[in-house]
Amino acid sequence: MSDTPWTIDSIAHALPHPVIRQKFLGEVNLAPVDQLQAVIDKWVRFVTEWEAGRPRIEELRDYFIKHGHLPPEYEATLIDVTDRIQTDAERARRGAA
């Protein structure tokens, strides 16, 4: 993004997927006023990191189109993915408690 200050609308439009956009809007709308800046800061960091990673994502897309699969370092087994999903769910439960 340019030097233009972030707004709720500009953050929402910078998010890469409608589901993520809805999550952001829900968090902003439900955040207590004293925690609103922290929520906004978290999402600005997300967008900034997403934009910084975009060139690598495009490289991976091009690689996949050319070769029909991701580079070996990005391939995961079903067990790896399942373990990651379970670990993320466990962290989310702990964070919600």
> Count of residues for the chain?
97
Return mean pLDDT, the chain: 87
Question: What's the whole-model pTM score?
Answer: 0.60
Take residue 82 and report the two structure tokens written for it.
């399942």
The 10s digit of each residue's pLDDT in 32-55 is 999 999 999 999 999 999 889 889
pLDDT of residue 3 exceeding 80: no
The 10s digit of each residue's pLDDT in 74-90 is 766 666 667 777 788 88
- What is the secondary structure of 45-79 as a DSSP string? HHHHHHHHHHHHHHHHHHHHHHHSS--GGG---HH
How large a percentage of the chain has pLDDT more than 90? 49
